[in-house]
Structure 1
Amino acid sequence: MKRRAGAWIGALVLVLAPGWAAGASLHGRASTVLQWWERADDGRDITPLTQYLSFTASDLWTGQDLAIRGYGQLTKDLTGGEPWKGKVFYLYADWNDLWADRLDLAAGRQFVQNAAGSAVMDGADVHLRVAGPVAVRLFGGGDVQYVNEYNSGDAVGGFSVYLDDLDHTFLELALFTKYDKSDLARLLAGASASQDLWNWGRVYGDLQYDYLGDTVNETLLGLRLFPWTGWIFTAEYFESLPVFDSTSIYSVFAVERYKEGRLKASYDVLPNVRLFAEGIRTWYEEGDRGFEGEIGTRIFDLYGARLDVSLNRRRGYGGDLDGFRLVAGRDFLGDRLFLEAGAEYQAFQRQEDPDDDTTSAYWGYAEYRWTRTLATSLRLENLVDGGGENHLEGLLRLDWDF
């Protein structure tokens, strides 16, 4: 993976260099983040220092819609004595409106997703507008794995036919495949569709089929209604069966199909005051069931302040839980300073434990914007576990936008 990332970086630098001479523009964000917390398994203090960089270089060639996009990090645990480690999350050339504005091309390390699957790959992604709203997409490349212990594949590929640039209708039919060296690890088919219902709603759905497992592995059906000003109603049904690579040891284990029904409603009492409620029914094929509910309110821009209050309850599989969450924040000094404080409390009883336990968290957050492009933020949080032990966590961040 590191060799592939280095090759892409070198290739994109060669592409980018001539563009600077032509007056390319560069913008993005550099973030330096220092964190500290206590590791749960052994109590050791962890203090990682991480440098993030995201950027977009555009206007590389006159008359061409070409951009280079990148995002990566360097990190080091200051208390662990380990060397710096780096990750390139994405780095690719994005070239649009080629061949009479019918072809889009992205090449490099990138996240790809269609109705049948998703991956991070080192490769190419091609979109071709065939006729009218009909377009086809083809992508393929090396599979990027960030977790060495689960090296599930070497190559990924996908193909889809979809409707492009329609204001109220979307439809995609797709295939997704994954190879572990020369062995076929996954072969999935998928469909995704949505349709606006005039001005008062939308119906949508997703479906995935696992060819190697000969089963439908994911289904989503949804309906969203906004019949009156300020009201939004959402109803969803979702079910999922985990899919593992056929070459993985995990593929031999029996798994249960998970199902979920969700109802949600929100009402904007005022332009800056929203009430909401949500109920979720969950169940597994073997009979385990649960219910989750939440009600709350969100208030925006009330004399510069924000308020978020919610109550939640869970019953059934896994145990019972009751809790609340309260977050309040406000801008000061002409929006240069933002302060926020929050608290979260949960009382729960595990399924096989008659004793009641509680956990809580209290945090404060401050962000100061020195200039339009430079800001510093600090977050401190105290976690109180079921045994009454306190665990302090912190995050100090410096953001520079360019």
Structure 2
Amino acid sequence: MEPITNTIPAALDVMQIRKDFPILQQKVHGKQLVYLDNGATTQKPQVVIDAEANYYRTYNSNVHRGVHQLSQIATDAYEKARHRVAAYINAAHAHEVIFTKGTTDGINLVANAMARRVLKAGDTVIISAMEHHSNIVPWQMACEDTGATLKVIPINERGELEMEAYEALLDETVKIVAVTYVSNTMGTINPVADIIALAHARNIPVLLDAAQAIQHIRIDVQALQPDFLVFSGHKIYGPTGTGVLYGTTEWLNKLPPYQGGGDMIKTVTFAKTIYNELPYKFEAGTPNIAGCIALATGIDYLEKTGFEKIRQWEEELMTYALQSLREIEGIRFIGDAAARSGAISFLVHDIHPFDMGEILDQQGIAVRTGHHCTEPLMDWFRIPGTVRASLSFYNTQEEIDKLVAGIKKAASMLL
């Protein structure tokens, strides 16, 4: 099909942007890399790589604990990164930003703290049928420890939440709702504003898993009003091993620390420990200093590039990809929501997704295959897994064309 005419004012210069990402210049199996696995992790611009290396090269030192100059420089850079993240999501206070290892770490922190301070036998935790394992297993563990019950919001055939069923689940036993903003498997954008409003009308807190939303959708936590929001740095062009837990001051003060150790204390005696103030109460031990600084650099890069331009280009690319893929004989989309972002999951005839993925790899095309850490969702669709192509603003329509051609080649070999 013909590429869609670009109508974006002051559009992105995608080919110039691609030069900022060193890995995109390499070849795989002798073919130019077509990287369509951004839902698993995004590639890193050179400025992010440089920021992390520069920390170790020029001011490597621990934070918050030294009066010497390198420690002060490192502390200033680390705390500046916290303020940068707070500004990016429009948090009311920088202390509402807790640095974590990633989305999984952030959810475990909240689930563990809720189990210790809030949940008890007879209570209910609500999640959805499309959750990543990271937003299922921690809550299962919390329920096992407390005697609470886990309930699941069902979905329809298009991969959209059944909102009437959700509202019916909201009774006086519910102590938290934990749902994904964007499905990592299907790309479904959930109606999170409605989810939060319905819960808050009953004084129920909400945790949003924004791992697949933060890089595609502008998030304003003061407008959206989640009680908790989590995301991973490596999904938003930052380093692995970094992440953010946003929590309202009220809830972060209410919950106990997740881990004990250095930096999360004010005073320690063998008789009693007094915990530190926010955000340090939840940041025990030496953090990933270099990674958090580089994460802030990645956010700076996105802002400099222009988030609205990025969003418009990704929406256009998604439209082009869906139109192009629909022309493939025997394709079946797993999830086909009206509102979607980032990811497209599909099967072709009865070809196993692993076989499709291997042949695409031989053509230099990187996609994800399997259950995508959403095994209950695969069970609901009665399939072993999918092929998932996930997009970024550095992808091109020409790469979509290569994907389509690659799928057709694989189908001709496997059918």
Q: Would you say same fold, with TM above 0.5? A: no
Bigger-Rg structure (1/2) = 1
Which TM-score band applies after superposition, normalised by the shorter structure?
under 0.3
Give me the TM-score of the superposition, normalised by structure 2. Answer: 0.20
Give me the TM-score of the superposition, normalised by structure 1. Answer: 0.20
* Higher relative contact order (Cα pairs below 8 Å, separated by 6+ residues): 2
Kindly indicate which of the two structures has a greater share of residues assigned to helix: 2
